[in-house]
Amino acid sequence: MCYAIPGRITGIKDNIVSVEYFGEQKKARNEFFDLKIGDYAYAQGGFIIQKISEREALPVLESWKELFFKLQEIDSQLIQKDPKTLYQRANNLRQKYHGNSCCTHGIIEFSNYCGMDCFYCGIRKSNSKLARYRMSLDEILEAARFAVHKLRFKALVLQSGEDPWYDEEKLVYLVKKIRQDSPSLIILSLGERDFGLYERLYKEGARSVLLRFETANLDLYAQLRPGRELKNRVELIGKLHKLGYLVMTGFLIGLPGEKEEDIKKNIELTNALAADMFSFGPFIPHPDTPLANTPLVHTETVLNTIANARVLNPKAQILVNTSFETLDRANALRSGLMAGANSLMINVTPRKYQRFYDIYPERAGVEEDVEMRIENIVKLLRSIGRAPTDLGL
C-alpha cells in the first residue's frame, strides 16, 4: 500500500485501519495516532504516518480527483490484453496487484565514511582518493524537512556507509526529531549494525530497513566482502523482518564471474527473505576499486531481472534503482516501470555532498536541481499513467 494521497479512515480494528481513496479500500497499520472513522491520514508502505485535518485533506483530494482516474486509464491502455513477452506479463502483474501507484522515496546520503572494504564499492575504506564527509545532525534534519515539507516526500531513506560515528544516541535523536518535524516513513539504510540498535530505532518509530544481502553466491560473498559472512547478514535481515520492519533487500547484478543461475538465486533469496521491496541494480565498476575492470552488464539483463522478480512475487514493490538509471540514462526508468517495477528513489542529499557519495561513478541525477528532476520524473510517470504517490501535489 503506497498511496500518499490523503485517505479517509473507513474502518478500525485494533491497530489495522481501512483507508479509502476515491472509492478504493486499502489497509494500513496505525501505531502512532489517535484515529477515528472519518479522519484523514497519509499512509506509506502500509503504515499510517500522518494524521491531517479535513481542511488540509479536501483541497489535495480535489486536485487529485480527475488526475487519479485519468492516470489509471492511461495505464490500462498501455496494458496488453494478450501479453506475449516476459516484460508484458510482468507489467500486467504489476498492474493487477499495485494498480498504477508508483512509490517515489527520497534518499538522504548522510555519510560516506565506511568501515567496510567491499571490493565493488567506491566508498570502501581503502579508497584513499575519496574526500569523506559526515552531515551534522542538524544538516540531516534540515534535509529531511526540505524533502518532506518542500518536496512533499512521504518516505525517506537515511543512508550512509557503515559509520559508527552515528551511534545509538545520535540515531535515536534523528529518528525522534524526524518523526516530530517531518512526518514520513523512515527507512534506515545504515549497513550491518547491531540488532540492538535496530530494535531501539524501531521503538523510536523507524519502520523500514534497506539492507541488501548483495549476493547469494557464497564464494563471491566471501571474496568481495572481507570479514563478513552471508549467513550473518541474512540472519539480521530475517530478524528485522520479524521485529516488524518493512524490509527492502536485494543484490547487485553483474558481479565478476556471476552466471545467470546466480541472478535466479538472488531473486529467490530476496523473496525468501520476505522482502516487501526488492532493491537490486546493476554493478557499475568504480575505477578506484579492485573490480575496476569488470565489464558492464547489459540493460536487458537488468530488465529481465525486474520482470522475473515480478513474476516470482507479484505483490512486492520493485524498485528501478539509480544504478540502472546510470547504466541506461535515457530509458531505464520507463523501461523498468514497463517491465514490472513500481517504485523509484530520488536523491535529496544536499547538493554539495552528492558527488562524494561515490559508490559508483557518474551516478544519474547527481548535482541536478532536485526540483527539476522531480518535475521530469513526474512528467515521465504521467506519460505512462502512473501516480507518483509519495510526492503529493
The answer to the question of residue 110 lying near ligand 5AD (CB under 6 A) is: no
Q: CB count, 10 Å around CB of 182?
A: 21
| Residue placing its CB nearer to ligand 5AD in the complex, 189 or 304 | 189
For every residue of 87-150, DSSP letters joined together read HHHHHHHHHHHHTTEEEEEEEEEEE---S---TT-TT-TT-TTSPP-B--HHHHHHHHHIIIII
Provide the mask over 219-258, with x wherever binding to ligand 5AD is found by CB under 6 A and - wherever it is not.
Answer: ---------------------------------x------
Strand, helix or coil at 19? strand
**Binding window for ligand 5AD (CB under 6 A); candidates: 65-73, 138-146, 257-265, 282-290:** 282-290
The answer to the question of residue 103 lying near ligand 5AD (CB under 6 A) is: no
The answer to the question of residue 283 lying near ligand 5AD (CB under 6 A) is: yes
Q: Answer positive or negative: Cα dihedral of 296, 299, 301, 306.
A: positive
Contact 198, 243 (CB under 8 A): yes
Q: Site for ligand 5AD (CB under 6 A): which residue of 317, 323, 354, 389?
A: 323
- DSSP secondary structure code for residue 41 in this structure: E
**Binding window for ligand 5AD (CB under 6 A); candidates: 74-82, 164-172, 279-287, 371-379:** 279-287
**Binding window for ligand 5AD (CB under 6 A); candidates: 13-21, 93-101, 142-150, 283-291:** 283-291
Dihedral class, residue 289 (left if φ above 0, else alpha if ψ from -120 to 50, else beta): beta
Q: Site for ligand 5AD (CB under 6 A): which residue of 190, 284, 332, 339?
A: 284
Binding positions for ligand 5AD, 339-368, rule CB under 6 A? 359-360
At its nearest, how many Å lie between ligand 5AD and the CB of residue 360?
A: 4
The answer to the question of residue 193 lying near ligand 5AD (CB under 6 A) is: no
Quote the cell numbers at residue 283: 554493478
At its nearest, how many Å lie between ligand 5AD and the CB of residue 134?
A: 17
Contacts of 194 by beta carbon, 8 Å cutoff, 6+ apart: none
The answer to the question of residue 324 lying near ligand 5AD (CB under 6 A) is: no
At its nearest, how many Å lie between ligand 5AD and the CB of residue 194?
A: 18
Q: CB count, 10 Å around CB of 382?
A: 15
| β-bridge mates for residue 24, sequence order | 21
Contact 262, 216 (CB under 8 A): yes
| Residue placing its CB nearer to ligand 5AD in the complex, 26 or 124 | 124
**Binding window for ligand 5AD (CB under 6 A); candidates: 1-9, 79-87, 137-145, 281-289:** 281-289
Q: Residues binding ligand 5AD: what is the number (CB under 6 A)?
A: 12
How large is the angle between the packed helices 168-181 and 137-145, nearest 10 degrees?
30
**Site residues for ligand 5AD per CB under 6 A:** 120-121, 212, 214, 252, 281, 283-284, 286, 323, 359-360
